[in-house]
Amino acid sequence: MSQIHNSQLRALPSISRLLNTPEIRGVLERVHQEAVVRTLQEVLSRARDRIRKGAMAPAMPELAVEAIAIILEAGQPRMRRVVNATGVILNTNLGRSVLAASAVAQVAEIATAYSNLEYDLQEGQRGSRYEHVDELLVRLTGAEASLVVNNNAAAVLLVVDTFARDREVVVSRGQLVEIGGSFRIPEVLTASGARLVEVGTTNKTHAADYERAISDQTAMLLRCHTSNYRILGFTSEVSPRDMVSIAHARGVLAVEDLGSGVLVDLGAYGLPAEPTVQATVAAGMDLVTFSGDKLLGGPQAGIIVGTQECISRLKKNPLLRALRLDKLTLAALEATLRLYRDPSSVHREVPILEMLSRPLSVLEQEAVDLAARISSISGLVVSVRPGTSQVGGGSLPATDLPTVLVAVGAEGVSAQALCDRLRAGSVPVIARIERELLLIDPRTLLPGDVERIMTALAEALR
């Protein structure tokens, strides 16, 4: 080690001198001394590394500023709000659905107090957590009974484990789906100790295929909604009603994994009609499973509705204890389901449905207003153009929703660099890029997001 390194290393201040700088003394009023000392040690060690590589010793205020930045960062939550400017409504990476205001209020109420989670107020004795949403689910879906678990993957697992362990589950080859996060129907079946019997071909499965596959080993016929892809062209599937007839004629169960259970007629919003939970129940399925945080617009949950007999069996499975829903989720789910009691206002109350049903004329006005705001920042080139939003989250595949996009270019900054800087902002903005332009879709913006985008753009150009 050279003389110059040694003298520079000696020039570094001690921890106690750093603790006495005005900057650090200010921090000590709010942060425990031990944590501050640990950070100062880290900062000094980094400075030593830099000196050994030939740098000069940093001045004391510089070290203090570096330490303060680390301390402030450590005080920030890791999980943060972001602005979803992508136009993908249900983005699993960005947290899927946004809760309705009444659901948030109910979570706050239940989280900050004791509750009747498992207490029957009438009888003054132990109650069931599943009761709180049962009546609502029964009324909304037309099923006899319900059960809720952590997510739809857990719902499918519980159903297969309860009824098909060491037995056979018949699934059409056209429906062997993989959902993001490597949830594959065939693997879930195997993990629950069931044997998968594939029938039909990728594009066509007929009633006779199911009929031939049923044996004394068969526990159920399982339909999986192909929620994140669509097979087009020369295709045929067996309808839920026909599958139910085939299953019941042979004394086996008919089950449907609907994925993104919708409770409203999407056709009314000008979207392709998705099979609703009600219609699937009405087709006679013994059990129907769906997610709480896809098109329902509630919290992460797996909802199972079906016959009283099947639901009672599910409730007796010891696995249920491991899959059970948390009280905050339950509070959010109950409040969300309550909104569906009024079909005429639900699309205004549930943010996911509001985004889905927002008229193009409104989106256009929002895009024009946003573009006008952004064009006030110098150095940016802004325009408005037609484009498409997506439902995402494995719902309504191949459905593009017409929207109006704001395209932003920055002089001397590539679209990718601008996108990266927006993502690194104090409130990260997630946008998409097409042909060297950053695109902002107003459809997925929430109240206050325009201001957040303005701040992020100003920060990005600084």
Ligand X SMILES: *Cc1c(COP(=O)(O)O)cnc(C)c1O
Footprint on this chain of ligand X (rule: CB under 6 A): 151-153, 177, 179, 183, 224-225, 227, 257, 259-260, 291, 302, 394
Which tokens belong to 176?
Answer: 């062997």
**Which class for 211: exposed (0-12), middle (13-18), buried (19 or more C-beta within 10 A)?**
middle
CB of 177 to ligand X, least distance (A): 5
Of the pair 394, 442, the CB lying nearest ligand X is at: 394
* Beta-ladder partners of 146: 305
CB of 358 to ligand X, least distance (A): 24
The residue whose two tokens read 């949403």 is 133
CA 158/CA 149 separation, integer angstroms: 9
Of the pair 220, 438, the CB lying nearest ligand X is at: 220
Torsion over CA: 365, 369, 370, 374 (sign)? positive
CB of 228 to ligand X, least distance (A): 6
CB of 260 to ligand X, least distance (A): 6
Q: Give the H or E element holding residue 64.
A: helix 60-75
Contact predicate 263/278, CB 8 Å:
yes
Q: In what order do the strands lie in the sheet with 253-259?
A: 145-149, 302-306, 287-291, 253-259, 218-224, 168-172, 195-199
Which tokens belong to 177?
Answer: 């789906």
Contact predicate 328/316, CB 8 Å:
no
Phi, psi of 169 (to 5 degrees): -120, 125
Residue whose C-beta lies closest to ligand X: 259
Of the pair 58, 299, the CB lying nearest ligand X is at: 299
CB of 308 to ligand X, least distance (A): 24
Q: Give the H or E element holding residue 306.
A: strand 302-306
Of the pair 66, 293, the CB lying nearest ligand X is at: 293
CB of 263 to ligand X, least distance (A): 15
CB of 238 to ligand X, least distance (A): 17
CA 450/CA 34 separation, integer angstroms: 40
Of the pair 177, 213, the CB lying nearest ligand X is at: 177
**Cβ atoms < 10 Å from Cβ of 351:** 20
Of the pair 392, 425, the CB lying nearest ligand X is at: 392
Contact predicate 27/37, CB 8 Å:
no
Of the pair 86, 260, the CB lying nearest ligand X is at: 260
Of the pair 300, 389, the CB lying nearest ligand X is at: 300
CA 273/CA 451 separation, integer angstroms: 35
CB of 226 to ligand X, least distance (A): 7
